[in-house]
């Protein structure tokens, strides 16, 4: 994110406090930004002719874009019909609870957790990264 957007938003990173703050300075009283309880941000613009606010844009457009919607180690998939989206665990992970409220946890510990200073025993599979296609990292990730 660039430090200052044209609409008056600013993101400050206070590394010593280990906190980030998101600021907004209103540049024009005919524009309002509303963060809804469902994580949707709405940009509203005042129409002088109707004397009403109308929605100029909103984001995210789908639940899939809401950060950490499925919790840890899980991915969200939009359904074809748009009515039954699903959360599923990454390969090698399983649901922490039945309703996925806590996300997913690793099925088996990593080799470094099982064998602190010794080599792998016969039958152990080496740890590896799994290539995932068609997924998006959070906007602020490196």
74 with 92, same domain? yes
Per-residue pLDDT of the chain (142 residues), as tens digits, is: 444 455 667 777 777 777 777 666 666 778 888 888 777 888 889 999 999 999 998 887 777 777 777 888 888 877 666 666 688 888 889 988 776 567 899 988 888 776 655 554 545 677 888 888 877 776 666 6
* C-beta separation of 114 from 101 below 8 A: no
* C-beta separation of 37 from 43 below 8 A: no
73 with 46, same domain? no
- Longest Cα separation, the chain: 77
With respect to residue 96, please indicate whether it lies within any of the assigned structural domains.
yes
- DSSP β-ladder status, 104-106 and 31-35: unpaired
pTM of the model: 0.53
Contact residues for 33 (Cβ-Cβ < 8 A; gap 6+): 7, 24, 41, 42, 43, 44
- Counted domains in the chain: 2
Structure-block tokens of residue 59: 């984001």
């Amino acid at each position: 994110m660039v430090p200052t957007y044209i609409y008056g938003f600013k993101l400050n990173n206070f590394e010593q406090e280990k906190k980030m703050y998101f600021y907004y300075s209103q540049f024009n009283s005919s524009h309002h930004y509303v963060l809804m309880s469902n994580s949707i941000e709405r940009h509203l613009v005042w129409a002088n002719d109707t004397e009403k606010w109308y929605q100029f844009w909103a984001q995210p457009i789908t639940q899939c874009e809401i950060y950490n919607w499925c919790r840890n180690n899980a991915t969200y998939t939009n359904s074809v019909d748009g009515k039954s989206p699903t959360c599923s665990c990454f390969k090698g992970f399983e649901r922490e609870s039945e309703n996925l409220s806590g996300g997913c946890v690793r099925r088996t510990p990593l080799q470094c957790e099982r064998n602190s200073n010794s080599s792998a025993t016969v039958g152990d599979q080496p740890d590896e990264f799994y290539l995932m296609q068609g997924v998006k990292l959070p906007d602020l990730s490196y």
